[in-house]
Amino acid sequence: MIRQFAEFWQSDFGWKFRHSPTAVLSFVVSVALVMAAIAAPLIAPTNPFDSASLNLMNGFSAPLQPNAFTGELFLLGTDDQGRDVFSTILYGLRVSLFVGVLAVLFGMVLGVTLGLIAGYVGGRVDGFIMRVADIQLTFPAILVAMLIFGIAKGIIAPQYRDQMAIWVLIIAIGLSDWVPFARVVRGATMVEKNRDYVQAARLIGRKPVAIMVLHILPNVLNPILIIATISLALAIIAEATLSFLGVGAPPTQPSLGTLIRIGQTFLFSGEWWILLFPAATLLALALSVNSLGDWLRDALNPRLK
């Protein structure tokens, strides 16, 4: 482990990383936010969803000012129901990242599979898959995701809607961003399938699925990491947007977008902290992941070396 880390540190890639302040900063911020999300139950002072621990008297406490009635102190203040804003942000971060990561994974698996098939099989199958991709690209991803969410809402019985909302979001966002993965993998596969090693594998009688998965896939994986990182930033923003519009994570399981939606209602009454802190967290998350993706793209692009 340590030896591998040292190797990475000494490599070209490691050198580039160390010498880019943007990369280091965005990496540190991303990792810190992910850690905070994972460890939310340990760090959060209260569990915002345990109604027994809530005290309505604590409502609308300003950040770092003792509450007028109870004298309790909250780092980032509380909302109208006396929930600690810091804790809700930690739990919201958890939901946002969970949805974002799973949605990208889902889109990635789907896109890579379809891209491999399209590139390797070619012909009509390729034409069909790429046409579907073209049609989908005509529409902005966020619109596609909204539509899928609406359809799912119509199919799922009302009493299960809140429980299922997170999974519907994951599928909706995942289905809306498979195209870039499929395009890149298809292009790379079409190059790789004529290489000698693939011909050799075919000659010794390996099945097409084995050739695709075991031989071609490892050789087309490099660009996928870059697309995945950029997709993650887009997925986090898409999730926040959907939740903000009220067609995403439910108030019982709020993500950062839901928190911003709630906070917006207090914009005019002066409780700025209920809105500001979730918004700043979302911004930090989206910006750091996005610039990490941009940096990866530049650093791994052989043409820019």
Partner 1 sequence: MLAFLIRRLVQSVVVLLVVGAVSFGMFRFIGDPVNNMLGQERTQADIEQLRDRLGLDRPVFVQYALFLRNAVQGDFGVSYRQGRPVADIIAERAPATLELAAVSGVMALVFGIGLGVLTAINRNSWASSAIMTLSLVGVSLPTFLIGILLIYVFSVQLEWLPSFGRGETVDVGGWSTGFLTQSGLIALILPAITLGLYQMTLIMRIVRSEMLEVLRQDYIRFARARGLRERSINFRHALKNTLVPVITVTGLQMGSIIAFSIITETVFQWPGMGLLFINAVQFVDIPVMAAYLMLISVLFVSINLVVDLLYFAIDPRLRIERAKA
List residues binding partner 1 (CB under 8 A). Answer: 131, 134-135, 138-140, 142-143, 146-147, 149-151, 153-155, 237, 240-241, 244-247, 260, 264, 267-268, 275, 279, 282-283, 286-287, 290
Nearer to partner 1, 13 or 128 (CB): 128
Nearer to partner 1, 228 or 238 (CB): 238
Which residues, at least 6 apart from 172, have a Cβ–Cβ distance to it below 8 Å?
Answer: 103, 144, 145, 146, 148, 149, 152, 242
In whole angstroms, give the CA distance from residue 224 to residue 107. Answer: 11
CA atoms within 13 A on the CB side of 250: 15
Residue 190 tokens, joined: 């079409």
Nearer to partner 1, 82 or 248 (CB): 248
Nearer to partner 1, 105 or 142 (CB): 142
In whole angstroms, give the CA distance from residue 298 to residue 139. Answer: 28
Q: In whole angstroms, how close is the CB of 164 to partner 1 at the nearest point?
A: 14
Nearer to partner 1, 105 or 287 (CB): 287
Radius of gyration of the chain (CA): 23
Q: In whole angstroms, how close is the CB of 135 to partner 1 at the nearest point?
A: 5
Q: In whole angstroms, how close is the CB of 262 to partner 1 at the nearest point?
A: 12
Across-strand partners of 78? 84
Q: In whole angstroms, how close is the CB of 287 to partner 1 at the nearest point?
A: 6
Nearer to partner 1, 198 or 285 (CB): 285
40 and 90 in contact (C-beta within 8 Å)?
A: yes
Q: In whole angstroms, how close is the CB of 291 to partner 1 at the nearest point?
A: 8
Q: In whole angstroms, how close is the CB of 237 to partner 1 at the nearest point?
A: 5
Q: In whole angstroms, how close is the CB of 267 to partner 1 at the nearest point?
A: 6
Nearer to partner 1, 165 or 198 (CB): 165
Nearer to partner 1, 224 or 240 (CB): 240
C-alpha dihedral sign at 6, 8, 10, 14: negative
Q: Which residues of 205-224 are buried (b: 16+ CB within 10 A; e: fewer)?
A: eeeeeebbeebbbeebeebb
User: Which 3-state string (H, E, C) describes 239-257?
Assistant: HHHHHHCCCCCCCCCCCHH
CB atoms closer than 10 angstroms to residue 79 = 22
Q: In whole angstroms, how close is the CB of 42 to partner 1 at the nearest point?
A: 29
> What are the distances in angstroms from CA 70 to CA 28, 57, 73, 161?
37, 7, 9, 37
